């Protein structure tokens, strides 16, 4: 049975940014190879959701060696992108929660496809739970209309 989609990926235009890379950098500490977001397309406080994306180019640090002749984005970087998106959501929606959001857990992650250089991963995070030092998001990632990855991320304020 196909999973219920958190968003309809056809609704999003990667050129219509709500927050650009500079805005993301103002909130998230990740830099260089570990920046896994290119832009944020929507934050919806009512549904406690955020949608963002990462464009992957041919010169990505992983493209040469994972896998030669058929480069594939490592799954752990897909999860990292979703985690960074959740961090950005919390920094914008819960600015009173100061500190560093660290990845504390991942659950029920399933990979259903791949991401190659030249493609963009569209990511949706929906808040499941937020406490004083914990956040939990369900997430899904898409290439075009195809669901590529899904799971649950837990972050902890350190």
Q: Active-site residue 66, yes or no?
A: yes
Bridge partners, residue 136, by sequence: 129, 154
CA 123 to chain centre: 5
The DSSP letter of residue 32 is G
- Measured CA to CA, the distance from residue 78 to residue 140 in angstroms comes to 10
Active-site annotation holder among 66, 94, 112, 136: 66
Q: Are 50 and 85 in contact (CB under 8 A)?
A: yes
The alpha carbon torsion through 83, 155, 1, 115 (nearest 10 deg) reads 20
Active site residue ranges = 66
């Amino acid at each position: 049975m196909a999973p219920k989609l958190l968003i309809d990926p056809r609704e999003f235009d990667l050129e219509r940014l709500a927050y650009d890379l500079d805005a993301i950098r103002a909130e998230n500490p990740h830099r260089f190879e570990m920046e896994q977001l290119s832009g944020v397309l929507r934050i919806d406080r009512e549904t406690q959701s955020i949608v963002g994306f990462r464009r992957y180019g041919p010169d990505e640090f992983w493209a040469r060696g994972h896998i030669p002749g058929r480069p594939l984005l490592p799954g752990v970087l897909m999860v990292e992108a979703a985690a960074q998106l959740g961090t950005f959501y919390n920094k914008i929606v819960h600015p009173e929660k100061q500190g560093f959001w660290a990845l504390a857990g991942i659950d029920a992650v399933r990979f259903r496809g791949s991401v190659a250089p030249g493609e963009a991963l569209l990511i949706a995070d929906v808040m499941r739970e937020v406490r004083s030092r914990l956040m939990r998001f369900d997430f899904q990632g898409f290439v075009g209309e195809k669901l590529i990855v899904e799971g649950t991320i837990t972050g902890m304020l350190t």
